[in-house]
Structure 1
Amino acid sequence: MRKRLWLIFGPLLCAVLLILVVILAANTQPKSNYKVERKAATATSPRVFKSAILKQQALSDKQHRFVPFFGSSEWKRMDAMHPSTLAEGYHRSYRPFLLGQSGSTALTHYFGMQQMLPQIQNKQAVFVISPQWFIKNADNPQAFSIFYSTGQGLDFLKNQTGTKADRFAAQRFLKVAPQGSINQMMKKVANGKSLTPFEKHRINAQLSLVNHEDAFFSKWRIEDNYNKKILPESKKLPQPYNREKLGQVATHLGQQSTTNNRFGIDNTFYNKRVRQSEKGLAGKQKSINYESSVEYNDFQLVLEQFAQSNTNVMFVIPPVNHKWVAYTGLNEGMYQRSVKKIEYQLRSQGFNNVVDLSKDGNKPYFMQDTIHLGWNGWLAMDDHVDPFLTQKQAQPKYKINDKFFDAAWANYRPTASDNFSKFKQ
């Protein structure tokens, strides 16, 4: 009987043990590999976002300076003026490491940051913060799960110290994350309780296994936007760098790409995403509001982490295509009030590197589609980002205010002339 069982299950057991040995043999220490790093930096995929080893490897590379560019779906718009294309075409001293795509928000970025805290300590970063994130029902477990890996949760548990930010992050995690092996420990953190020595040992053991698995699988099948998109687009840039000529090229490319619609948006985007439903979208966005959302509380998690890591960050606030605003009925006043609320949350805490492009959605070829920067918009962003990353910057002095975790702030709706005195009180 034993022999028969061994013949049935023995090969399977040996295969499992062999896989475990191979995975555990993978080196979890990030080693420089520029070709892999270039691909990972422009992949804009959940695979890269979830991988600790790929982020750590690139951001630790002493020979090549990769800078984290946090954002969402704008990074997919890879034209000739995209930040990665400009950095490549003009051989700049830095390369953007693009983090985020459609569906990523402040909470996903906060947990993603837990995997690379040593790599952002005392460094710089760029963060595109879109008012469209700040919707009323910002609790989307499905979107969160796309970008979440167990390693992020384990790193958070390992890093937490019982602060209000830790408690709030754990509470938000339990709201949006799927049931898993770490949820009981998350509940303890959410309730302000300390983890036991055994739980801490368990976190380290589980994290070791997860990191070995990450190191083994992370380099497989990374989307190659670098060779397919960034390099070809960089050939369109005038040489050497000349801002005036660059603007002319951007305008020309915008003109060529927006010939089949009245909104000044990219032809391909219009054909795929707008043409079929255009009539039904008239006045469709009248009721949208970005002024009240738990996303403001989630955003505070990101700011607290940047402050704790002493990271010098430039924030960019994009506009919406004005022709699209007029057609869909999106309230421009509401949009500007939400921008004002975001800016107050930033500047009142010492995050003063803010590029507000929110009023530029009516400029020619500034937007590639309805809500994303393109051509001249990318250049306007680059006018601020490139000097920020290449010239010496004073280290900001942050003044973190935990009141931004309160529901009162999430629900606060500013007026056009608001100085936020009611919230201060």
Structure 2
Amino acid sequence: MDLVLRAPRVITAEGEVSRAVGVSGGRITAIEPLDAVLSADRVIELSEDEVLLPGLVDSHVHVNDPGRSEWEGFETATAAAAAGGVTTIVDMPLNSLPPTVDPEALAVKRKSAEGRVHVDVGFWGGAIPGKLDQLPALHEAGVFGFKCFLLHSGVDEFPPLDPAGLAEGLRTVNEIDSMMIVHAEDSDEIARAPEVTGGHYADFLRSRPRGAENLAIAHVLDEARRTGARVHILHLSSSDALPMLAEARRDGVRVTVETCPHYLSFIAEEIVDGATQFKCCPPIREAENRELLWRGLADGVIDCVVSDHSPCTPELKRFDSGDFGEAWGGISSLQLGLPAVWTQARARGHALADVVRWMALRPAELTGLRHKGRIEVGADADFCVFAPDEAFVVDVAKLRHRNPVSAYHGRPLAGVVRGTWLRGREITGEQPFGELLTRP
């Protein structure tokens, strides 16, 4: 074998066990008792305070490259991912220029990423007005599915779908056996809400009411019932929607759901005025809402936890004015998802195996990457060496993200990533060797 990792604590399908894990040719080829005789070119002995996890899969990342690489970029995004135990990301189709809405734009993005990625990278396609005829060609080119908005996306080059466009898009993705991933907030409801100006977080929260999310999700579920299409609800923040999502799934609607570390970590009551680093859409809501999202995870209504890493330059956060109406909406957290979720999960009695299911196994299943997100024979040898009981305080100056902006700055977190391995090779950050993935 090329490599054997001997770990007193490993997260596998059996839960947390002691195992020796053997690797050959970038794949896991043996999972044996800890004291099994396995010979290899290199043997790594993990300590008692370390747990061997599968590399995480983050299916919601805005790399913003090419076109807005001053916001992030492939080198910094994937280096940050690796530092956070993430070995696979799937890049969103917007905020880059051009947006990934046809095969030519996908080719531009892939060329921009070639030779610059420290982890494996796949790509979502975009579904926008005037480009829905491009969905089959993008599907054939290897995108993992299609993202759409139901209201203004924040950038003019990625406009939203109206109800007729959503229906057409869902019919197409059903025909080609793909999936529509939806930013679900209702544009009319947002238009009726009070407009936010100034630095009061409470005003911003009123400008993005739960009702806008709930109405949009109900509409998506109705169209999914009618068309039979597979749909995925992005970054769920409104716990009000959990009962209808559970009911739709019981009725056979093909729907999956994600939420994000910031909705599971922060609460509106603690966000001070002018703290625009916390602005995201949909917004961080109240403490009671957060606990209901945790219950949705425990009950299986919410499938996975992914970052929605949406970075920008410090100037775009408008720290000079603290104006929530003017500031860019997005949380920068790609490197911090694992400790952020683990900190909150352990306080609620969840085990590391639960976190692995939400942040590795389920996102891999969502994207069809069956060889990712698990420690089992035949899977890619993607690993995260995690010290769950070691604590640290987040310092944005020490993160690998391009810009030193994060809502987590100064926050104490539990769990430190001590090493990340991609297909049996340790990621050092010196020479990128990640691969560009296509739909299986």
TM-score normalised over the length of structure 1: 0.26
Choose between structure 1 and 2: higher helix proportion: 1
Choose between structure 1 and 2: higher strand proportion: 2
TM-score normalised over the length of structure 2: 0.26
